[in-house]
Amino acid sequence: MAKKEEFFVGLDIGSNKICVVVGQPEEGDTVKVIGVGTSHVTGLRKGVVTEIEETVSGISEAIELAERSCGFTLDHANANINGGHIHSTVSRGVVAVGRADQEITKNDLNRAEEAAQAIQVPPNKEIIHVIPRQFVIDNQEGVKDPLGMTGVRVEVEALIVTLSQQVQKTLGKCVTQAGIKIDDLIVSPLASAKAVLDKKHKELGCAVIDIGAETTGLAIFEEDSLLYTNVFPIGASSVTNDIAIGLRTSVDVAEKVKIKYGNAYHKDIPEKEKVDLSVIDIKEEGVFSKRHIAEISEARMEEIFKIVRDDLKRLKKDVLLPAGIILTGGGAKLEGIDVLAKDCFKLPVEIGKPHSLNGLTDKVYDPTMSTSVGLMLYAFEERIGFSGSNRTGDMISKVRGIFKTFLP
């Protein structure tokens, strides 16, 4: 049985599944996965809770399964928040260095980050993350870690991530009702990126696209910093729905057809290969060409990629990502998705999944587990402290007071 003394929990509340990953630190700052629990009961639509009771049941079930797997009770976790209400914007904050000897302290950086939060946020929106991208010390640009340097003036350029207060409150209520205290709430694309990227991706420049069931998350990195994040309210369940309509079958059968025979690149499928629906479900009938199913899947995935590509174009990042596109989330498991993505983005493409862990790796080295593993890793990093040499990157400054809204 695992020991309870020190463990980290990621709780991914998704539209298709709710899952919990428990990790324990090992020597050499690696993490061992000691518990995993997944529930397919969820009350979410497009990444947002629409049914509280179902969501609470799903969270409770996933927690219970994870508890059975690791052998102790869980009462706190890092949780994700997702949905089209999540936006990011760049802001700057400037302060004068406080100490008489002009050495820059943590307090100066905190005050600069606070100053960067002085942006107009609509009344029903709230800031969830302030992520420093770079600091300007007096006139020296591009400073990543100003602690200990000297200067008169500290300026931070930060990415401010905002979300809907209502959505956040409802989600917080569900987690609390399931008996779990939220340590940190982190937007889904950032959590997924944490699990799948390594330093090189972030330094070179890349975009993580998390294709979930009903959302597609985007996180762009450059020079080791988060440049942008966004969530689009469309995902891989649309492919299933299109197959159901196209083959005049149920969503359940269409889902099985997609997973077993689906392909996002129809040109790779010979015309004569067929799928007999009665093999999937004896109550069903009809024989369809695999190429036709691939055409349906490809049309929808192409639409999703175009939405993302338009966003990249708007940011002028559609060509400037040397480490390319990293696809993750369950939608990244669709056959041929990497070929289609290469065609759409004209960039290198990889399928990203959690890696470099120990323990129950067979359960978590899967694109559907990226968010939950990333949340767990954020908790781990919080404990070991972000390495002093890299203040920016994906370091998230917690916004004081945000969690008090979870109190009943």
Ligand X SMILES: Nc1ncnc2c1ncn2[C@@H]1O[C@H](COP(=O)(O)OP(=O)(O)OP(=O)(O)O)[C@@H](O)[C@H]1O
* Binding positions for ligand X, rule: CB under 6 A: 14-17, 44, 47, 82, 188, 212-215, 235-237, 240, 255, 258-259, 262, 329-331, 333-334, 368
Task: Look up residue 345 and give its two tokens.
Answer: 């983005």
Closest separation between CB of residue 319 and ligand X, Å?
Answer: 27
Q: Smallest distance, Å, CB 356 to ligand X?
A: 20
Q: Residue 255 touches which of ligand X, Mg ion, none (CB < 5 to 8 A by kind)?
A: ligand X
CB of 373 to ligand X, least distance (A): 12
Q: Is 83 in the site for Mg ion (CB under 5 A)?
A: no
Closest approach of Cβ 285 to ligand X, in Å? 23
Report the residue number, 25 or 233, with the smaller CB distance to ligand X: 233
Instruction: Find the shortest distance in angstroms from Cβ 229 to Mg ion.
Output: 14
Read off φ and ψ for residue 362, nearest 5 degrees.
-60, -25
Please tell me whether residue 151 binds Mg ion under the rule CB under 5 A.
Answer: no
The entry of Mg ion, ligand X, none that residue 324 binds, CB within 5 to 8 Å by partner kind:
none
Q: Is 148 exposed, middle or buried (0-12, 13-18, 19+ CB in 10 A)?
A: exposed
Q: What is residue 32's DSSP assignment?
A: E
- Angle of helix 188-196 relative to helix 370-384, nearest 10 degrees? 80
Report the alpha-carbon distance of residue 280 to residue 277 in Å, rounded: 5
Nearest residue (CB) to Mg ion, 14 versus 35? 14
Q: Which does 258 bind (CB under 5 to 8 A by kind): Mg ion, ligand X, none?
A: ligand X
Q: Strand 216-222 vs strand 206-211: parallel, antiparallel, or unpaired? A: antiparallel
Alpha-carbon 349 to chain mean position: 18
- Whether the Cβ atoms of residue 21 and residue 364 lie closer than 8 Å to each other: yes
Considering CB distances under 5 to 8 angstroms, the limit depending on partner class, which of ligand X, Mg ion, none binds residue 240? ligand X
Identify what 368 binds: Mg ion, ligand X, none; CB under 5 to 8 Å per kind: ligand X
DSSP letter (8 states) at residue 198: -
Q: Using an 8 Å Cβ cutoff, are 55 and 43 in contact?
A: yes
Minimum CB separation of residue 355 from ligand X in Å reads 17
Q: Choose the one of Mg ion, ligand X, none that binds residue 236, judging by a C-beta under 5 to 8 angstroms depending on kind.
A: ligand X
E strands of 107-152, at which residues? 125-137, 140-143
Q: Which is nearer to ligand X, 47 or 354 (CB)?
A: 47
The 212-231 contact track toward Mg ion, x by CB under 5 A, reads x-------------------
Three-state DSSP at 388 gives coil
Closest CA to 186 of 408, 407, 402: 402
Counting beta carbons within 10 angstroms of the beta carbon of residue 308, is it exposed (0 to 12), middle (13 to 18) or buried (19 or more)? Answer: buried
35 binds, among Mg ion, ligand X, none (CB under 5 to 8 A by kind): none
DSSP 153: E
Query: Which uninterrupted H or E stretch holds 12?
Result: strand 8-13
CB of 160 to ligand X, least distance (A): 22
Binding Mg ion by CB under 5 A: which of 10, 11, 13, 14?
Answer: 14
The pairing of beta strand 125-137 with beta strand 140-143:
antiparallel
Residue (of 297, 340, 348, 296) closest to 319 by Cα position: 348
Instruction: List the one residue out of 78, 111, 38, 293 whose CA is nearest residue 183.
Output: 78
Least distance from ligand X to the Cβ atom of residue 21, Å: 13
Residues 347-406 that bind Mg ion (CB under 5 A): 371
Q: Which residues contact 28 (CB under 8 A, 6 or more apart)?
A: none
Structure tokens, 179:
């008996």
Minimum CB separation from Mg ion for residue 257, in Å?
Answer: 22
Nearer to ligand X among residue 168 and residue 237 (C-beta): 237
Q: Which one of ligand X, Mg ion, none interacts with residue 10, CB within 5 to 8 A by kind?
A: none
**Binding partner of residue 372 among Mg ion, ligand X, none, CB cut-off 5 to 8 Å per kind:** none
**Nearest CB to ligand X, comparing residues 70 and 213:** 213
Note whether 75 and 180 are within 8 A (CB).
Answer: yes
3-state secondary structure of 352: coil
- Which residues from 163-222 bind Mg ion, rule CB under 5 A? 212
Residue with structure tokens 């590509």?
Answer: 309
CB of 368 to Mg ion, least distance (A): 8
State the binding partner of 16 from Mg ion, ligand X, none, CB within 5 to 8 A by kind: ligand X
Contact footprint for Mg ion (CB under 5 A)? 14, 212, 371
